[in-house]
């Protein structure tokens, strides 16, 4: 079993043997059995910064998904090796924008005569190729914790934003935080000729949203919100900005995983919360805050884990740490040099946002 005491002991022993040579990062959506071995936990933004802040560690074991490990590789030195305990831990949202599709989109924007006015802003949840495209075209990366600052910056550089690949984060930030209207946004569908948009629609739009989404957060609906409000009078609804616009519009608070944790830390005893994000995190928070008299429930009635985040389990972590302790570099994530240079430009623009 994954919480097998023998496996826990093996992970502990291998980590001890590696000492300062290894640094383990854990995203908030990771399983408890993995989080217990993380040297630091965080949201995507915090982990990207923390990876770069440990130059003495030879190995960065990234307990999260592939795009996070790539970003860590881009931001760390060549001497540091970033390792992803299971190579199948991808992100379905990141997979919704490929380099070919995005290059084609740029051609469509060029044909329509708008490319010169467009600044790309790409969500951290994207491949290194997409980050490189973003850097090459003068854009920045953002995460759910700095999307407004990234858009403020982008609209100082140009008149339009191409937001990749999460249409919901793009729309929610534009409408909720920047005062734009839904009519300022159009959706570019990579599976349709010209993205399914006319040149006039592209010229009129301020936000060109890529048609991508998170399948985990996409499962929360307006019904989930109405249902929990009926069940738990006085409940505070707190959701991640990857949720659909109607869910975000009906919620009381919206923020990244780190924001969600801070909000619950600051919440008064006796308060009630329904959280719209991944279930490992919500369960951990419910257990952590129950003794303080804070009631925390999952926003939906159905179970909703991120299946790729969950691929990193204790057996994979044990295998990874033991391999590294024996001097075998496994599951090394390495972005090629040219991609890395442009992707780094885009990531550094994000890190420099005010
Ligand atoms: P955070 O940046 O809020 O940690 O979100 C990452 C993610 O993958 C959300 O689905
Ligand atoms: Fe990707 Fe959604 Fe999983 Fe986050 S929760 S890693 S966006 S699939």
pLDDT digits (tens, 9 = 90+) for 309-328: 999 999 999 999 999 999 99
Q: Measure Cα distances from 280 to 71, 186, 242, 286, 321 in Å.
A: 23, 33, 17, 10, 23
- Quick one: 143 and 86 in the same domain? no
Give the up-direction half-sphere exposure of residue 327: CA atoms within 13 A in the CB hemisphere: 0
- Quick one: 9 and 78 in the same domain? yes
Nearest ligand to the CA atom of 213:
2
Asked if residue 164 is part of any domain, the answer here is yes
- Quick one: 225 and 327 in the same domain? no
Rg (CA), the chain: 21
Percent share of the chain, pLDDT over 90: 94
pLDDT value, residue 115? 98
Give the up-direction half-sphere exposure of residue 308: CA atoms within 13 A in the CB hemisphere: 18
CA of 283 to the centre of ligand 2 (A): 17
pLDDT digits (tens, 9 = 90+) for 261-304: 999 999 999 999 999 999 999 999 999 999 999 999 999 988 88
Asked if residue 342 is part of any domain, the answer here is no
* Residue 3 pLDDT > 80: no
Domain count, the chain: 3
Percent share of the chain, pLDDT over 70: 99
pLDDT value, residue 66? 98
Report the residue count for the chain: 354
State mean pLDDT over 100-113: 98
**What is the span of the domain harbouring residue 291?**
217-298
Q: Is the CB of 69 under 6 A from ligand 2?
A: no
State mean pLDDT over 176-197: 98
State mean pLDDT over 246-257: 97
Asked if residue 345 is part of any domain, the answer here is no
- Quick one: 117 and 202 in the same domain? yes
CA of 13 to the centre of ligand 1 (A): 30
- Quick one: 191 and 101 in the same domain? yes
- Quick one: 289 and 325 in the same domain? no
Asked if residue 349 is part of any domain, the answer here is no
First-to-final CA distance of the chain: 46
CA dihedral 203, 169, 350, 146 (to 10 degrees): 120
Ligand 2 closest atom vs CA 277: 5
- Quick one: 241 and 325 in the same domain? no
CA of 326 to the centre of ligand 1 (A): 33
- Kindly give, in sequence order, each residue whose CB lies less than 8 Å from that of residue 297, ignoring residues fewer than 6 positions away: 228, 232, 235, 272, 273, 274, 275, 282, 286
Provide long-range contacts, Cβ within 8 A and 24+ apart, for 135-138: 135/341, 135/342, 135/343, 135/344, 135/345, 135/346, 135/347, 135/349, 136/342, 136/345, 137/106
Of 213, 234, 253, the last residue of a domain is 213
Q: Which residue has the tokens 């001497």?
A: 79
Q: How far apart are CA 92 and CA 125, in angstroms?
A: 9
* Ligand 1 pocket test, candidate residues 47, 144, 281, most atoms within 8 A of CB: 144
Q: Which residue has the tokens 């040219």?
A: 338
Of 213, 230, 250, the last residue of a domain is 213
Phi, psi of 147 (to 5 degrees): -60, -35
| Nearest of 34, 47, 32, 37 to residue 258 by alpha carbon | 47
Phi, psi of 137 (to 5 degrees): -100, 25
Write b or e for each residue in 7-21: b if 16 or more Cβ atoms lie within 10 A of its Cβ, otherwise e.
bbebbeebbeebeee
Q: State the CATH number of the domain containing residue 65.
A: 3.40.50.10800
- Quick one: 270 and 231 in the same domain? yes
Ligand 2 atom 2, closest CA? 214
- Quick one: 75 and 182 in the same domain? no
Question: Average pLDDT of the chain?
Answer: 96
ipTM over 0.90: yes
* Residue 1 pLDDT > 60: no
- Quick one: 119 and 75 in the same domain? no
What is residue 296's three-state secondary structure?
strand
CA of 339 to the centre of ligand 1 (A): 23
State mean pLDDT over 231-242: 98
pLDDT digits (tens, 9 = 90+) for 19-77: 999 999 999 999 999 999 999 999 888 998 888 888 889 999 999 999 999 999 999 99
Asked if residue 117 is part of any domain, the answer here is yes
- Quick one: 98 and 67 in the same domain? no
Asked if residue 346 is part of any domain, the answer here is no
Q: Which residue has the tokens 């890190």?
A: 351
Of 213, 232, 263, the last residue of a domain is 213
pLDDT digits (tens, 9 = 90+) for 131-183: 999 999 999 999 999 999 999 999 999 999 999 999 999 999 999 999 999 99
Asked if residue 39 is part of any domain, the answer here is yes
- Give the confidence band of 89 by pLDDT, cuts at 50, 70, 90: very high
* Residue 212 pLDDT > 90: yes
Q: Is the CB of 216 under 6 A from ligand 2?
A: yes
- Give the confidence band of 332 by pLDDT, cuts at 50, 70, 90: very high
Q: How far apart are CA 40 and CA 180, in angstroms?
A: 37
pLDDT value, residue 319? 98
- Quick one: 128 and 228 in the same domain? no
Q: Which of 47-51, 116-120, 195-199 has the lowest mean pLDDT?
A: 47-51
pTM of the model: 0.95
Ligand 1 atom 1, closest CA? 43
Asked if residue 347 is part of any domain, the answer here is no
Q: Is the CB of 93 under 6 A from ligand 2?
A: yes
CA of 57 to the centre of ligand 2 (A): 27
Spatial contact of 150 and 142, defined as CB atoms under 8 Å apart: yes
């Amino acid at each position: 079993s994954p919480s097998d005491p023998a496996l826990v002991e093996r992970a502990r022993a291998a980590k001890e043997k590696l000492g300062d040579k290894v640094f383990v990062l854990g995203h908030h959506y990771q399983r408890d059995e993995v989080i217990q071995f993380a040297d630091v936990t965080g949201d995507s933004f915090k982990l990207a910064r923390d990876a770069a802040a440990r130059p003495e560690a030879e190995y960065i074991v990234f307990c999260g998904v592939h795009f996070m490990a790539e970003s860590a590789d881009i931001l760390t030195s060549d001497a540091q090796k970033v390792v992803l305990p299971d190579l199948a831990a991808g992100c379905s949202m990141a997979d919704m924008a490929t380099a070919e599709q995005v290059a084609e989109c740029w051609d469509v924007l060029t044909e329509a005569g708008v490319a010169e006015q467009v600044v790309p802003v790409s969500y951290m949840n994207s491949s290194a190729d997409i980050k490189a495209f973003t850097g090459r075209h003068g854009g920045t990366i953002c995460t759910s914790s700095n999307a407004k600052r990234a858009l403020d910056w982008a609209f100082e550089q140009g008149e339009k934003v191409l937001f990749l690949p999460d249409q919901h984060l793009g729309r929610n930030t534009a409408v909720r935080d920047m005062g734009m209207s839904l009519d300022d946004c159009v959706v570019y569908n990579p599976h349709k000729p010209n993205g399914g948009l006319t040149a006039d629609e592209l010229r009129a739009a301020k936000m060109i949203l890529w048609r991508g989404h998170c399948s985990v957060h996409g499962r929360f609906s307006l019904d989930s919100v109405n249902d929990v409000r009926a069940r738990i009078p006085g409940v505070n609804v707190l959701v991640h900005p990857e949720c659909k616009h109607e869910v975000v519009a009906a919620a009381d608070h919206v923020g990244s995983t780190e924001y969600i944790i801070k909000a619950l830390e600051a919440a008064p005893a006796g308060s009630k919360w329904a959280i719209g994000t991944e279930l490992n995190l919500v369960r951990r928070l419910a257990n952590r805050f129950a003794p303080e008299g804070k009631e925390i429930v999952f926003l939906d009635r159905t179970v909703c884990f991120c299946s790729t985040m969950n691929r990193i389990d204790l057996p994979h972590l044990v295998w990874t740490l033991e391999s590294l302790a024996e001097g075998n570099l496994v599951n090394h994530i390495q972005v090629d040099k040219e991609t890395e240079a442009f992707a780094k430009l885009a990531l550094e623009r994000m890190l420099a946002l005010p």
